[in-house]
Chains A and B, each alone.
With several copies, the nearest count.
Chain A
Amino acid sequence: MVKVLFFGILSSKTGCKETEVELGSREVELSVFMGDLRERFKDLPKAAYMIAVNKEQATLKTIVRDNDEVAIMPPFSGGSR
């Protein structure tokens, strides 16, 4: 299983904070993984501010495999105004 996390406004848009994706023994590039995910979550925007795989910033070429954690993040809004 790949654990998928949606943060901030993306959890509102998808109506989901955390979900799982079954990859089995497949290894896919993040671009493919995201394409599949958008099939399930129609309201997930095309581009995220940052995507992390296993808590490291990823690129669309990053390989995703079983037991990974994929976090999909909108722009940050820490700090005070």
Chain B
Amino acid sequence: MNEKVTPFSKGGLEGIKVRIQAEDFSMEEEVERLRASSKKVGAVVAFLGAARDFSEGKNVKAIEFEEYKGMALKALEELRNDTMKRFDVLDVSIVHRINRMEPGDRIVLIVAASMHRKAAFEACEWCIDRLKETVPIWKKEITPEGDSWVAPHP
């Protein structure tokens, strides 16, 4: 195991399950961590959001994410708690990257583990929808003409 543990607000496993970090993450590691947490796990659903070819006719070279440090991680923790209360899941983890990202880079990973698959699908989808509404992170586009903040999209 080469766990790349990054700074997080709480010590212990809880903190590992909710992270904001510049580095890339390992999907296998995140999924296995959740799966190994209980023998009851029958289904794991993972959502991976990636930076796709940006341009809609624009000359976007990269994107950059900024967080409200201190509040964004707290919001992610609340989001995880809300998800676990709302759905019949055994565990949930959320990783969001910040700073500069180029096309193809992985931005966000949400993993939900449950006994039965329906709950994991629902939890995972709800969680990413909700993340966009509740977590203070903003994206801007980097172009040769300068940076511009991106209006949110659903």
Contacts and interface: CB of A to CB of B under 8 A. Distances in A.
**In the complex, is A directly touching B at CB under 8 Å?**
yes
Interface of A: 5, 7-9, 12, 50, 52, 55, 71, 73-81
B96 A78 contact: yes
Contact of A79 (B132, B136, B149): B132
B108 A81 contact: no
Interface stretch (B10-18, B25-33, B45-53, B80-88): B45-53
B100 interface: no
Given A7-B138, A73-B136, A78 B70 contact: no
Interface of B: 42-43, 49-52, 65-66, 68, 70-72, 74, 96, 107-108, 115-117, 128, 131-140, 148-153
A49 B105 CA distance: 28
Main secondary structure, interface of A, reads loop
Contacts of A74: 138, 149
